[in-house]
Structure 1
Amino acid sequence: MTPTYETRLPFFVYGTLRPGEPNHDVHLRGNVTTEVPARLAGALLYEGPGYPYLVEEPEGGPVRGELIAAHPAAYERLLAGLDVLEHYAPGDPRNLYERVEREVTLLDGTAARAWVYVAAPSVAARLRASGAVIGGGDWASFRARR
């Protein structure tokens, strides 16, 4: 599916946008209606320069995070702000991340579609070749151990 601003999906956040992380309050506080724990199968987290990268790997995961739903009045502004934060612009070869629609699973087993920022292809290739995987797929636990 081609990402469009008309598709009002929730977001799966797994790094610095999670509660207690530095970008949560800056971008999400006051702009969301719900935040619930969720997991994404088929992916690995890699260490980045102060933030993680999610790389899709069929046998990887799960990656732990939260599914967040934006306030309807804040949705367009939040989506645009997250695209800037994640260095994503549709079709730009310099992207660090790509925004893709994926299925995540809530802790009760319910499936939901969400926007997920995944490492752009060139970044993912570099990480697969020489990156450091974050064991357990949980950025919060990784940061707590450091």
Structure 2
Amino acid sequence: MNNINIFVYGSLREGFFNYDKYLKGKVIKNIPAVLEGMDLYHMPYKGYPAIVPNEHSKVFGEIVVVKDYDETIRDIDEMEGVIDHRHPENEYHKELLTVEHLDTGIKEDCYVYFYNLDNDSIFNEKAIHIPDGDWKKYMLNK
């Protein structure tokens, strides 16, 4: 069985703190990509981003191909607060979604972590919408 790659859009992107902690030395390949159907937000009260469903938006990031697959995915699931599929206490839910390679237009199903709004009572008043869908650019230009 082939491993399913992950789509990263925030602190797991190269140059950020969770990349260094969870992915450094484990990345075989980064593929610039876009995910349609999600809105991107920065949560200054947490220091990292969230994506939430919105059919008219898109989010930019990378598809990451990793070695030490099982261990790496397990560590990322733990970091993202995934307890189980759609568990009500997840911080992020992990779903298989279609992501498009920016350079070739190839579409690939990847694991994507999106935010569980049910557990954040201040999200709507405190989270900052990033309309261009690129958290890395947002953070570098802050």
State the TM-score, normalizing by the size of structure 1. 0.86
Question: For residue 100 of structure 2, what is the amino acid of its counterpart?
Answer: T
Q: 1:52 aligns with which of 43, 49, 53?
A: 49
Matching of residue 40 in structure 1 with residue 35 in structure 2: yes
Q: Which residue of 1 aligns with 2:69?
A: 75
After the TM superposition, which residues 116-127 of structure 1 pair with which residues of structure 2 at under 5 Å, given as runs? 116-123=112-119, 127=123
Deviation at 1:144, TM superposition (A): 1.2
Question: In the TM superposition, what whole-angstrom CA distance separates every residue of 1:87-119 from its partner, at most 9, and x where no partner exists?
Answer: 111053221100000000001211011000001
Task: Check if 1:96 corresponds to 2:87.
Answer: no
The alignment-based identity, stated in percent, is: 29
Say which structure is richer in strand: 2
Q: Distance in 2 between matches of 1:94 and 1:116?
A: 17
Cα RMSD of the aligned pairs, angstroms, is 1.9
- The number of residue pairs the alignment matches comes to 137
Q: Is the 8 A contact 2:80 2:92 kept in 1?
A: yes
Cα distance in 2 for residues equivalent to 1:41 and 1:125? 26
Deviations 1:64-104 (A, max 9, x none): 10000111xx1110011001110111053221100000000
Which residue is 1:3 aligned to? none
Aligned partners of 2:89 and 2:119 also within 8 Å: no
For the residues of structure 2 that align with 1:46 and 1:7, how far apart are their CA atoms?
32
Q: Taking structure 2 as the reference length, what is the TM-score of the superposition?
A: 0.88
1:121, CA displacement in angstroms?
4.4
Is 1:11 matched with 2:1?
A: no
